[in-house]
Chain A
Amino acid sequence: MLALELAVADGPATPVANEVASRSLRQIVWARLRRDKLAMICLLTLIFLYLLAIFAPLICDLLGVDPYSFDKESISDSGGGPVGPWGGISTEHPLGVEWGTGRDIFAQLLYGLRISLLIATTATILTVCFGTVLGIVSGYARGKTDAVIGRIMDLILAFPFLLIILALSGVLTQRLTQLGVPDGNPSRILYLIIVLSIFGWPYLARIVRGQVLSVREREFVESSVAMGASRFRILFKEILPNLWAPILVYATLTLPTYIGTEAALSFLGVGVLPPDTSFGGMLGNSVSYFSVVPSYLFIPGTVLVVLVVTFNLVGDAVRDALDPRAGRV
């Protein structure tokens, strides 16, 4: 009312007032987020890391390094270890070279980041899509639909996830190849994305379903039902906006978990094929040389920590922006 009166009283200000009144949820959140300095720093760091990954070939070209060429000069002839301290850090190889082959660590890191982020990001997006849709449907529909989806979730959660991934990798990557996915890394990466999202969505779906169960009893939902809104509108326009907080938090936690899972799977031999290395492969390799060349572990380790922390902080900030009343305890 006040705004309206003001608008009437103060003609020139009208457009501004109108603009304020018509701000969408997204705009509100963005405005709040912009005020959070820490969140902005993290967001920029994340964007920077993604840019590094996306433009890895370009950056490597500029620096004159590449992850596949063997530099025999940079490793010792007895033992195969890097010549020079800290894993052979030099102007030629800014982060050192790999033990035994002399491949550049910096280039491997960028290319590895590329593969790891590709897998983790895609799998997270798929997980969130499946989890949200099925969670909302399950929570709102109740009854038989809920029971069926719920049992499917139970079934997937009960599966020994890691063992299945290991056991099926050979067969399923072959099947993907038959379906026309290029042999080798494309089919292996696709396989990882598929299994990670298939085994990941039930966790989110359960959280979403729980939220939906409480939200669906709220007045605004009942009033839209009374007004004859379509089910699609109720689910995705009325209920979904109230779920963004848990979904975003879950997504920001899932992405780093997937990077870690991919690392573990690479270590167990389901990851990408040589000569490519993923982030996980680099971490796995570093273990054998930890006491001599700790930088092999610390370099990818630091990047992983930065990724995880920034994702979590951004997730936190987005949740706060979405729902300022919840606040931090």
Chain B
Amino acid sequence: MNKTSKGLRLAAVGAVVALALAACGGGSGSSDAGGGAEPTKGGTLYYLTNAEQFDQIDPQRIYTGEDLAFFNGTIYRTLTAYKFSPDAAEATSIVADLATDTGTATNGGKTWEFTIRDGATFQDGSPVTCADVAYGTSRTFATDVITGGPTYAISMLDIPTLEDGSSAYKGPYTGEGQELFDKAVTCSADGKTITFNLSRPVPDFNYAVTLTAFAPVPKASDTGEKYGDAPVSSGPYKIESNKNGKGGKMILVRNDKWDPASDDYRKAYPDIWEVDYGLDVKVIDQRLITSSGNDATALALGLEPEQLGVIYKSATEANPEFAGRAISELDPYVRYLAINVQKVPNLKIRQAIAVALDRDALRKNAGGDFAGDYADGVIKPNMGVDYAPTGMWDSLLGAKIPDAGDPELAKKLIAESGEAAPTITFDYPQSPTADKAAAIVVDSLGKAGITAKPNPIEPGQYYGVVFDPEQAHELINAGWGPDWPNASTIIPELFTPTGGFNLSQYDNAEFNAAVEAAKIEPDRAKQAKMWQDLNTLAMKDVVVVPTRFGREQRIVGKQIGPVYLWPAYGSWPYGEMYAVQQ
């Protein structure tokens, strides 16, 4: 992957779409529909947010899980999509959406074919053809214009790369290398069948096309960088107006050209979706708790720590008055501290850092039970087959490590390393909670004789700084969730030089080769075992110190349903949400 596209990806960070999940112990009542009434059409659903705008609205540039779920459920149809279900296994299985089925792989998984469904149209009534899907896909290659989105199209399609690592195809705007793309993605004469030719077998390519990066875009309406201002809808809603900033709103109204017969995936219950931007987080919480007037059909994304005690009896159970409208579930993300192996090449020192770290205090600071469970690797149990305990804290580092860290063992490891106790710097995006976490890192490493210096970075610039090898320090705060339920969106991204999120700057030839082999392994069970082993291997080499499998709390108004955290994206199931009619 070339440098530019790498830069882009980073920006999307935190964002990474996530998949998989669940398991969540308990999650009491979380899957009950609010009010318990039968879903009916009509009404307005309100999406209250602290953000002053969506990061991206352009389908090829969206990369945050929540936004993918929202826009996929309302305005962008994709070839395949995840099932709506609170159950992780089911929600991480795909169904046909714009395509008639979930795709056909031939040529050993190197060629994938999808047939476009009859009756699928854009908001102007023109039919969606495979040329539109191909055109949408091609936009990802214009890495100078279409920034921020996932770049799987670039890494997977059979298009040669240039010496500098960038693709020989430069996107539809310059047209350079267009014939290469037209060979890799072909469209049948009747406009129905699209074929993707891949550079290597990708057994889960039909999962990749759930990303809106593979959504259709009509060439005539493409305004390049500005396409996100007035995107063309293929779903049941269209953007009527969008005004960013405090007090701004996005209004989605019904797309009357959308034919329900062509779409058995989206339920399209509400008449209107209204997104209210720039609200204070405290105000959002208070409004949802009160749930009066329009707020009865409102939803939001997070909860401030101070409200947790008000709403929840325990980390898995809401108080009776909030039963059915408050959820607390494992989210798709793993939180960890990446260790820059270029700056800390000595394994014993890395082990000492992992051993000394007080993960107990870090978890408590993040909210204790509400913040999730201790992590033992970068693959979460709710990933299903790809997860196996790594034993990181039991035996992998030579002894059982208590959650609160073991400074004595860390000191011993430093003595064995043959180096003096190191001085390291801890990069983190600044917030009051993160400042306290930094204090914990400094204190607990200090007990083992490691001098740690906190380096708070302005959150908006965070990933720009830590992905710059010149500016990144030894210890880097991070979090990652898979793009779809296959560790091929985790291990290669985090631990290989071609990955987009290799904060550790890890480059181990043996490891890279094993990753390449796992990527193309067609037998899913064997592949899962390979990912499990690679996860363990990375932990053994202490490339990162996993701290937490995250958990998330959210509430909605009293008259909205269904209320569950959709494991596919760790988001609300926008495509099937409804307002309970009075």
Assess whether A99 is in contact with B430, with CB atoms less than 8 Å apart.
no
Q: Is the CB of A274 within 8 A of B436?
A: yes
Contacts of B364 in A (CB 8 A): 72, 75, 77, 80, 100-102
Among residues of B, the one whose C-beta sits closest to the C-beta of A98 is B436
**Chain B at the A interface: SS class:** helix
Contact B436 A100 (CB under 8 A): yes
A91 touches B (CB below 8 Å): no
Q: Inside 8 A of A69's CB, which chain B residues have their CB? A: 443
Total chain A interface residues with beta-carbon distance under 8 A = 32
A290 within 8 A of B: yes
CA distance in complex: A70, B458 (Å): 26
Any A CB within 8 A of the CB of B366 = yes
* Chain A residue, CB-CB nearest to B433: A100
Q: B314 in the interface, Cβ–Cβ < 8 Å?
A: yes
Contact B439 A81 (CB under 8 A): no
Task: Kindly state whether residue B389 has any CB partner on chain A within 8 Å.
Answer: no
Does B24 have its Cβ within 8 Å of any Cβ on chain A?
no
Q: Does B4 contact A (CB under 8 A)?
A: no
Q: Determine if A269 and B368 form an interchain contact, defined as CB atoms under 8 angstroms apart.
A: no
B306 contacts partner chain A, Cβ-Cβ < 8 Å: yes
Residues of B within 8 A of A79 (CB): 305, 308-309, 367-370
A99 CA to B282 CA in the complex, in Å? 17
Say if the beta carbon of B192 comes within 8 Å of chain A.
Answer: no
Q: How far is the CB of A133 from chain B (nearest CB, A)?
A: 37
| CB closest chain-A residue, reference B360 | A72
Q: Check: B241 CB closer than 8 A to any chain A CB.
A: no
A183 to B430 CA separation, bound complex (whole angstroms): 19
Question: Please, how many residues of chain B have a CB less than 8 angstroms from a CB on the other chain?
Answer: 36
**Contacts A78-B315, A81-B305, A292-B306; is A273 near B454 (CB within 8 Å)?**
yes
Q: Are B433 and A78 in contact, with the CB atoms below 8 A?
A: no
> Contact flags (1/0) for B402-441 with A, using CB distance below 8 Å?
0010000000000000000000000000101101101110
For residues 83 through 103 of chain B, which have their beta carbon under 8 Å from a beta carbon of chain A? none
In angstroms, Cα B161 to Cα A140, docked, is 74
Give the residues in chain B near A100, CB-CB below 8 Å. 305, 364-367, 433, 436
CA A212 to CA B315, docked complex, whole Å? 67
A55 at the binding interface (Cβ < 8 Å): no
- CB neighbours of B371 from chain A (8 A): 80
Indicate whether A289 reaches chain B with its CB closer than 8 angstroms. Answer: yes
Q: Which residues of A contact B435 (CB under 8 A)?
A: 274, 281, 285
Nearest B-chain residue to A284, judged by Cβ = B432
In the complex, A101 Cα to B305 Cα: how many Å? Answer: 14
Inter-chain CA distance A117–B308, complex, in Å, is 36
In the complex, whether B156 has a CB less than 8 A from a CB of chain A is: no
The answer, yes or no, to whether A288 is at the interface (CB within 8 Å) is yes
Shortest A66–chain B CB gap in Å is: 11
**With contact pairs A100-B436, A269-B458 given, residues A275 and B315 touching in the complex (Cβ less than 8 Å):** no
**Contact across chains for A77 and B368 when beta carbons are under 8 A apart:** yes
CB distance from A248 to the nearest CB of B (A): 37
Residues in chain B near residue A281, CB distance under 8 A = 432, 435
Collect the chain B residues with CB atoms within 8 Å of residue A269's CB: 430, 456, 458
In the complex, A98 Cα to B305 Cα: how many Å? Answer: 13
Contact of A101 among B312, B439, B458 (CB under 8 A): B439
**B346-361 with Cβ < 8 A to chain A:** 358, 360-361
Contact with B along A245-282 (1 / 0, CB 8 A): 00000000000000000000000010001110000010
B residues near A75, Cβ cutoff 8 Å? 364, 368
Other-chain contact of B306, A70, A98, A290 (Cβ < 8 Å): A290
For B304, the chain A residues whose CB sits under 8 A away are: 288
Q: A68-B443, A281-B435 are in contact. Are A288 and B306 (CB under 8 A)?
A: yes
Interface presence of B442 (CB below 8 A): yes
Q: Which residues of B contact A102 (CB under 8 A)?
A: 364
Instruction: Chain B residues near A98: list those with CB within 8 A.
Output: 436
7 A-B Cβ contacts within 8 A? A78-B367, A81-B305, A101-B436, A273-B454, A275-B454, A291-B282, A291-B306
A residues neighboring B (CB under 8 Å): 68-70, 72, 75-81, 98-103, 183-184, 269, 273-275, 281, 284-285, 288-293
Q: Which residues of B contact A (CB under 8 A)?
A: 282, 304-306, 308-310, 312, 314-315, 358, 360-361, 364-371, 404, 430, 432-433, 435-436, 438-440, 442-443, 453-454, 456, 458
Given contacts A70-B358, A288-B432, A292-B310, 11 further A-B contacts (CB under 8 A): A69-B443, A70-B443, A72-B360, A79-B369, A100-B365, A101-B361, A269-B430, A273-B456, A275-B439, A284-B432, A291-B282
